[in-house]
Structure 1
């Protein structure tokens, strides 16, 4: 048993080393240059930090972390090619299903198969996949290789197993004489199934990360409470212990955020047009300007009132409080940022509603065009009278632009710009190109609708994961803040009690309860900082899992900040009511 486990460990280590060597081989930078300018200097720096840690005339607590910095630099240099290869693999997998759908649409138009690859190579949206198509085109055009040989060669080089398998099977099929259209149509189900499997596994990984995050944050919360309370008995400097735990808290949360960001499936909601602006953009920009302007105004009033430079301060705005709680000084200035957060969220809900209606629209459009053998504008004359929910107005606008003899490509681009949906833009572009190249509208509509419906079903799963994460993070924020301020207020009351007992007793209470080492306002300030930092990272986590616009972060950041501020203030009042003598 032990021997089999050792053999398995050796095999794992061997595979890891082979994978690392392969990442060095696939770097765009020449290996000799990377070793000379990156790896060797990092080794020298690591040796220097070891020497500094052994020879510097400073305390051990300061010397000990110095070699760790050198080790971090060395590890970053050693594993950087592996990280780059992993990022490249993610880029290949993220858009693979869209690229195959696009390739299928082009193949159904009966154009030359090399033109299919040339068209995809010019699509910057596909990133690394477009680069792979470009490499295949180069092998065929420049090096006079056959298309199947070029696909087979690139299949051996790409880091993604799914893309490599697809190219390898494509090479075999083309070499056997099967048409590109037949192969891609037969592959649609398998590609979508693979995408669904990867998407669901990513969501499952996020569920595991949520459980780990909850456990780690609860542990760090207990550690921070102990760091606040224990110096009462030990007499150590509580500011240093609290600061050390806060730094650890920051590292733990940052690590989980990066892990969640790497695990979340790539599925953007928004489309950001450049050449075809939409009226929505003006509304979004106004909300952002109002939110930022009001936040800057409140920040100036808060700082001016605290320093005496402004006649109006936060005390005047929150006149219902005899003394404004410290957490409110952090929460009030950022409150107006909820305005753009709400506006962006409302628009995002409309985008998602349009996405739900688009498969029905594109299927009906393709079927009607195929049956009537007419143009899109003539079909939309009757089709626009049907109810497609939030998409109805956009369909009307598309019909009006086509009826005004606007060039069809420009009309469709305005349509996608008004919808602001990434999926609608991507699949509309596929339908437009397919129709321009003579593809069957009925086949195009059914193909696009089927693929988009699969993505929308996966988005429902993602929405459920985001909803549970929101509840978890809101609850953690309230619970951890409650624990923080319980410990702080207990120490504060003990400090007041020791002063009262010392005034009327010969017993030196400070020899038993070490409250003189506490700087209560400074510790409360540190707690407010960690609450705000936690709110910021939590809102970023929600946005990452949700996959929406970055401005959604503002709304959750404001809400989480106010949850922390209100919970902290209420906890201080509640503990005072129970323990004040």
Structure 2
């Protein structure tokens, strides 16, 4: 009977796969609210309300208990036996045994949160190791794709290749580089760092406004320059210069979020300790704190303090504070801290749990930054070298073809007996090669910028910063290499 009920209840399983971070956050939240001493059904009710994939499983447990009258231990067992997610099956079955044995919920959830935090760290580090391997592979594949184009251009001087073969090789090179960048994005740890909302800090709001007006303007200006016949080198440089301010503001916004995230954990520990040691409320403890110890968060904390002193709902004040910081991590930590303290939890204990969650996440992101920073500047230098080399080979082929065409009519009839026959050389279609080179260089600019963002993990608007750098180096190659080759040859 129970098996039939379980099968009917889960025959349309709409659950989504659970990742390590979501489960870590879910357990940290539930352990924090459980530490406040609330009832078991209230713990499950709050846990099921989180906007995370694991919440759906706890919602199903709560549904079984509230509607069909099962105790929570049995409900956890039924749900655990009916779902597919291995992580949730293991967790729910252990939770079922713990509840059946009489172990307090907060003890079990606290232990599981600590274990899941360690598992998440190992999972993140494995993803970083994989990401590091793929960054090495990406550099090799990008250089190989560029060499395909270079070899095609040089070999065309000896043997005429059909246009179809040339275009096919270019498409193959572009596809190979693009697929490698996509694999790089799949290998990177999945996390959202920045919110970039209209209620965020000045840098985020400015970046959003600039993107709204500047990106369409760049498309129009770039198209107009091409229609007017402006050289591709000048057009590329103009687009790069116009993109740079948006990219710079986006990068500054990301750095500001990193600083705020690092300061928020110590702030919570100080706030919880102040509230417990003085026996004061959270608002009173905040009034007694020296906010200058948190320089990046200071302005946000002052606004939070003023709103709390104005007797505005604490929940609304903390929500507004989280939005104004622009940090996803701070928003998640605020939810844990505010909900648990509101239910009567010890501020010092809750602050410790929340700060531990925040610190683990920040430490893992710092490790990712090491890999990302190395790959970023390696890719920038590599792109400049590849773009310069491709344009250099194109101009050498172009000038050599012109020299051959100029020399053919001047050859004396008797010279054929003592020189290498000029018929062994081919005169390639330079116009097609030029557009192939331009297409490949510009496409690599976009692919390389996307690969950097996938490795870094920041907001997509930061792509404009790296794209502007790639386009600027490409434009310099288009502008400076041709006259240099002409002088040499």
User: What is the TM-score when the length of structure 1 is the normalising length?
Assistant: 0.76
How far is the alpha carbon of 1:385 from its aligned partner? Answer: 4.2
Q: Which residue of 1 aligns with 2:208?
A: 285
Larger displacement relative to structure 2 (398-407 or 195-204)? 398-407
Q: Which residue of 1 aligns with 2:24?
A: 97
Quote the Cα distance in structure 2 between the aligned partners of 1:162 and 1:433. Answer: 26
How far is the alpha carbon of 1:249 from its aligned partner? Answer: 1.8
Q: 1:183 aligns with which of 105, 108, 111?
A: 108
Q: Which residue of 2 aligns with 1:193?
A: 118
Q: Which runs of 5+ in 1 are unaligned?
A: 1-25, 30-83, 307-313, 315-323
Q: Which residue of 1 aligns with 2:350?
A: 444
Q: Which residue of 1 aligns with 2:263?
A: 357
Quote the Cα distance in structure 1 between the aligned partners of 2:405 and 2:112. Answer: 79
Q: Is the contact between residue 138 and residue 181 of structure 2 (CA under 8 Å) also seen in structure 1?
A: no
How far is the alpha carbon of 1:304 from its aligned partner? Answer: 4.3
Q: 1:278 to 1:561 in 2, by over 3 A?
A: closer
Q: 1:184 to 1:475 in 2, by over 3 A?
A: same
How far is the alpha carbon of 1:418 from its aligned partner? Answer: 1.3
Q: Per-residue displacement from partner, 1:418-470 (whole Å, max 9, x unpaired)?
A: 11111111101111111111111110011111121111111110111110110
Q: Which residue of 1 aligns with 2:460?
A: 550
Q: 1:236 to 1:160 in 2, by over 3 A?
A: same
Matched, 1:249 2:173: yes
How far is the alpha carbon of 1:558 from its aligned partner? Answer: 1.0
Quote the Cα distance in structure 1 between the aligned partners of 2:343 and 2:207. Answer: 37
Larger displacement relative to structure 2 (331-340 or 155-164)? 155-164
Quote the Cα distance in structure 2 between the aligned partners of 1:331 and 1:120. Answer: 52
Matches within 5 A, 1:17-36: none
Quote the Cα distance in structure 1 between the aligned partners of 2:314 and 2:446. Answer: 44
Matched, 1:570 2:476: no
Matched, 1:434 2:344: no
Quote the Cα distance in structure 2 between the aligned partners of 1:271 and 1:490. Answer: 49
How far is the alpha carbon of 1:205 from its aligned partner? Answer: 0.2
Q: Is the contact between residue 257 and residue 326 of structure 2 (CA under 8 Å) also seen in structure 1?
A: yes
Q: Is the contact between residue 236 and residue 474 of structure 2 (CA under 8 Å) also seen in structure 1?
A: no
Q: Which residue of 2 aligns with 1:65?
A: none
Matched, 1:122 2:46: no
Q: 1:171 aligns with which of 87, 96, 99?
A: 96
Quote the Cα distance in structure 1 between the aligned partners of 2:155 and 2:100. Answer: 74
Quote the Cα distance in structure 2 between the aligned partners of 1:272 and 1:426. Answer: 15
Q: Which residue of 2 aligns with 1:259?
A: 183
Q: Secondary structure at the match of 1:142?
A: helix
Q: Which residue of 1 aligns with 2:7?
A: none
Q: 1:219 aligns with which of 134, 144, 148?
A: 144
Tell me the matched-pair count. 474
Q: Secondary structure at the match of 2:158?
A: helix
Matches within 5 A, 1:85-164: 88-89=16-17, 91-124=18-51, 126=52, 128-164=53-89
Larger displacement relative to structure 2 (557-566 or 454-463)? 557-566
Q: Which residue of 2 aligns with 1:423?
A: 329
How far is the alpha carbon of 1:159 from its aligned partner? Answer: 4.5
Q: 1:503 aligns with which of 409, 412, 417?
A: 409
Matched, 1:539 2:463: no
Q: 1:514 aligns with which of 418, 426, 430?
A: 426
Quote the Cα distance in structure 1 between the aligned partners of 2:93 and 2:455. Answer: 33
How far is the alpha carbon of 1:162 from its aligned partner? Answer: 3.3
Quote the Cα distance in structure 2 between the aligned partners of 1:504 and 1:260. Answer: 55
Q: 2:308 aligns with which of 395, 402, 424?
A: 402
Q: Is the contact between residue 327 and residue 528 of structure 1 (CA under 8 Å) also seen in structure 2?
A: no
How far is the alpha carbon of 1:300 from its aligned partner? Answer: 4.8
Q: Is the contact between residue 359 and residue 449 of structure 1 (CA under 8 Å) also seen in structure 2?
A: yes
Quote the Cα distance in structure 2 between the aligned partners of 1:138 and 1:189. Answer: 27
Q: Per-residue displacement from partner, 1:384-436 (whole Å, max 9, x unpaired)?
A: 44421201111111111111121111111121111111111110111111111
Q: Which runs of 5+ in 2 are unaligned?
A: 1-9
Larger displacement relative to structure 2 (245-254 or 458-467)? 245-254
How far is the alpha carbon of 1:279 from its aligned partner? Answer: 5.3
Higher normalized contact order (CA 8 Å, seq sep 6+, divided by chain length): 2
Q: Per-residue displacement from partner, 1:111-130 (whole Å, max 9, x unpaired)?
A: 12222222222222x1x222
Quote the Cα distance in structure 2 between the aligned partners of 1:120 and 1:181. Answer: 13
Quote the Cα distance in structure 1 between the aligned partners of 2:156 and 2:479. Answer: 23
Q: Is the contact between residue 203 and residue 252 of structure 2 (CA under 8 Å) also seen in structure 1?
A: no
Q: Which residue of 2 aligns with 1:210?
A: 135
Q: 1:223 to 1:284 in 2, by over 3 A?
A: closer
Matched, 1:377 2:289: no
Q: Which residue of 1 aligns with 2:273?
A: 367
Q: Secondary structure at the match of 2:165?
A: helix
